[in-house]
Chains A and B, each alone.
Chain A
Amino acid sequence: MVDSALARPATLLVVDDDADIRELVVAQLQQENYRLLSASNLIELRQTLRDESVDLIVLDLNLPDGDGLSLCRELRAEGSDVQIMMVTARGSAIDRVLGLELGADDYLTKPFEPRELLVRIRNLLRRARSDPPSRGGTMRYAHFGPWRLDLQQRRLVAPDERLVMLSSAEFRLLSRFIEEPNIVLARETLLPERRATAAFDRSIDLQVSRLRQKLAAIRGGDELILTVRGEGYVLASGVDYS
């Protein structure tokens, strides 16, 4: 499966009711050596999905014959694992969280930077090829110790429903721990993959200690992240999703 996927260019389906935008996006993406299909409404989209094997849909939410969101939900219910990149105008009834909950893999608002669309599509395709089964899908919360981590709003929820906010770095770090609970993680593996700015160079120990402080704010929240001398850190708790 992986081999065959690597062998052929990915197939992208661009769905937008505005012909100009559809053509322009297609033109953009063609530079990247993808195989491109397009559809202007839900009927065409379903037809294309039946006829072709599609890896990723660039889906505009406002379509003349229906709502992209319900399509998204239906596709997931049918067990389709096609990647969905939602593109929508800001201020429409749907927000980011809802979009992601209903099974979109990423979300972009119009007007967008063409380069951003390219980068996100590339990331999505790479993620899909490297680890297709590990996606948590539509899970919203990860439970560990007394805490819940809201994976979409990126914040901690205490047992009394009080919200404790996390910085992006803290969320990334905690996500890493939650992906691999009860496994000792070396410092190097905890560093973010992409160092966008020099500020990410802040020592990982400092970040872990900040995160610990936040987690220790409630009973049973201390001793969740333990130091393993000479090896790294470990999240000493099981993780459940809901």
Chain B
Amino acid sequence: MIQRSVQRVRAFFGTMAGQIFLILTVGMSVAAIIALLVAEQARHHDFERVRRQRVVASAVDIAARLRRDPTQVEAMMAAHNIVGAYPEPEGVAISEPDADLEAALKERFGARSQPQAGQVPVGLCFPPKERKDRAAGLIDAPRPDCWVVRFTDNGGQRRAMALTFPRIAKPPSTVFNPLYLLVIIAASTGLAILVARFVSKPLRRLERAAEAFSLSLDPEEIPATGPEEVRAALSTFNLMQRRARAGFAERTQLLAAISHDLQTPLTRMRLRLELVEKGELRDRLLSDLQAMQTLVREGLDLASSTESREEWSVVDVDSLLASMAEDAQDLGQPVRFSGGCGGSARVKPNALTRCIANLVDNAVKYAGSAEITCTRTAGRLLIHVRDHGPGIATDQIDQMFEPFTRGPGSQPGGRHGTGIGLTIVRSLAMSFEASVRLRNAEDGGVIATIDMKE
């Protein structure tokens, strides 16, 4: 179960849609997170800047008061009568000077002010003994930030003070909030699915068209719609399809024309042979003529098989196979129908009949007998024609469908068939969108299978 789903996931990521999906989901999530981090950083900077501005504003204010009335202001500061500004506590060193703050101060007080500033632990600004006046309920309240600022004012007087501000709680980072992450990933996924579909849809159409073309030479053209690149690909495909069909039709017509025109001289020869005295010569001429006739007939069959004008019908397959076996038996051929499947298929009935008949003839010719069975799996209907002959060498099995390839039964002395029987079978099968396969059975003999939609 788990293994299966793992396999399915793997298969999905093997597809183009899957890969686009993966790239987009991961990529967009990462991009969104990076963008959030940058924004967070900017926010942090702003936060610090605001804090410093407060310090600077406060320092400027105190400096102005000190200039107006130094004595009283100092006294007020010492008595803690100015909120947020006190004399510098004794013995405090600025261990971590704040360069940005110092720069800001310098800008306000002039180049000669030599400001020193830094945040100090809040305990230094407010020794514990001074905290007795805290209101109830404020015990756990955030204690203020404390800054120590020193500078030389316009009068050349060095000033030092401690400035406090209520602490601004910095809101926590939102980047790694699971809710945000979820939203980002969900949005990326949704978009990725859309894009993957959008991109793979025309490809699927092309694939289906190519598949139809591989099954039948006469498929419908695919409408060239969609984005420009897709339209170009589709119309190129259509063009290829038309050219292939035209080339094929030309070949077929040539074959048909030659075969057709040979029939008249062959008829004359056959009739003239009746005038030849009976004897060995006549027999030999007759058998040569027979061979030529077969070739012509099969050539015509091959030509007509590619453009079967027969109508489609639903056929009860068992009745077809049973009656074919019976007819063959009536002609004394060892043909058995040994396993029906109770299925029907939409085919061109005469083409299918010819198809099976050719396979049965082959089996009888090369292996002496034929056995017909029928099976159904997953919406496909398979007709098997098997023999119990010597089989076909594995390296030749794929060539068997090529014209003028003969099976192993062909002996140098005895001429068997024309070698286009299986080619006819394949092209007949194509005419009703079926395919034909050959394989060697494990226990000897060849199994030919016609594979079609149920």
Enumerate chain A interface residues (CB-CB to B < 8 A): 18, 20-21, 24-25, 27-28, 89-92, 110-114, 153, 155-156, 158, 160-170, 196-200, 210, 214, 217
Contacts of B323 in A (CB 8 A): 165-167, 170
A89, A114, A163, A200: the one within 8 Å of B316 (CB): A163
Q: Is the CB of A168 within 8 A of B330?
A: yes
Residues of B near A27 (CB, < 8 A) are: 271, 275
Known: A90-B263, A91-B304, A163-B315. Is A111-B330 also a contact (CB below 8 A)? no
Contact B332 A110 (CB under 8 A): no
Q: Which residue of B lies closest to A117 (CB)?
A: B271
| Nearest-Cβ distance from residue B327 to partner chain A, whole angstroms | 5
Known: A167-B327, A168-B327, A169-B326. A91 touches B315 (CB 8 A): no
Q: Which of B263, B268, B304, B315 contacts A165 (CB 8 A)?
A: B315
- The answer on a CB contact under 8 Å between B260 and A92 is yes
Residues of A within 8 Å of B267, CB to CB, are 21, 110-112
A-B interface, 5 closest residue pairs, ranked by CB to CB distance from nearest: A24-B271, A167-B323, A167-B326, A111-B267, A165-B320
Query: In whole angstroms, how far apart are the Cα atoms of A22 and B342 in the complex?
Result: 51
Inter-subunit contact B314/A111 (CB<8 Å): no
B94 interfacial by beta-carbon distance below 8 Å: no
Is residue B338 within 8 Å, beta carbon to beta carbon, of the partner chain? no
Contacting residues, chain B, for A24 (C-beta < 8 A): 268, 271-272, 274
A20 touches B327 (CB 8 A): no
Mark B267-282 against chain A: 1 for CB-CB distance below 8 A, else 0: 1111110110000000
Task: Evaluate contact between B319 and A166: CB separation under 8 angstroms.
Answer: yes
Which residue of chain B is the closest to A24 with respect to CB atoms?
B271
Query: Knowing that A21-B268, A89-B264, A196-B330 are A-B contacts, what are 15 other residue pairs whose CB atoms are under 8 Å apart, sorted by A's residue number?
Result: A24-B274, A25-B271, A90-B260, A111-B266, A112-B267, A113-B270, A114-B274, A160-B314, A164-B315, A165-B320, A165-B349, A165-B353, A168-B330, A199-B330, A199-B331
Residues of A within 8 A of B329 (CB): 199
Cβ A21 vs Cβ B316 within 8 A: no
A38 to chain B, nearest CB (A): 14
Q: Are A197 and B322 in contact (CB under 8 A)?
A: no
Complexed CA–CA distance, A156 and B316 (Å): 10
With a cutoff of 8 Å between Cβ atoms, the chain B residues found around residue A196 in the complex are: 330
A sample of 8 inter-chain contacts (CB < 8 A) reads A27-B275, A90-B297, A112-B270, A114-B274, A160-B314, A165-B324, A167-B324, A217-B319
Contacts of B300 in A (CB 8 A): 90-91
Of residues A24, A90, A91, which shows the largest number of chain B Cβ atoms within 10 Å of its Cβ? A91
Instruction: Compute how far the CA of A167 lies from the CA of B337 in the bound complex, rounded to whole angstroms.
Output: 13
The closest CB in chain B to the CB of A89 belongs to B263
**Which A residues are CB-close (under 8 A) to B330?**
167-169, 196-197, 199-200
Contact A163-B322, Cβ < 8 Å, known A20-B268, A28-B274, A111-B270: no
Given contacts A90-B300, A200-B330, contact A111 B319 (CB under 8 A): no
Give the docked Cα–Cα distance between A210 and B271 (Å). 42
Contact B349 A155 (CB under 8 A): yes
Distance (Å) between the CB of B88 and the closest chain A CB?
Answer: 105
Residues of B within 8 Å of A163, CB to CB, are 313-316, 349
Bound CA–CA A91/B307 (angstroms)? 11
Residues in A with CB closer than 8 Å to B332 are: 197-199
Which of B271, B315, B324 is the one whose CB lies under 8 Å from A28? B271
Q: Does B235 contact A (CB under 8 A)?
A: no
Q: Is B303 an interface residue (CB 8 A)?
A: yes
A157 to B258, CA, bound (A): 37
Contacts A161-B313, A197-B330, A217-B316 given; indicate if A91 touches B270 (C-beta within 8 A): no
Q: Which residue of A lies closest to B292 (CB)?
A: A111
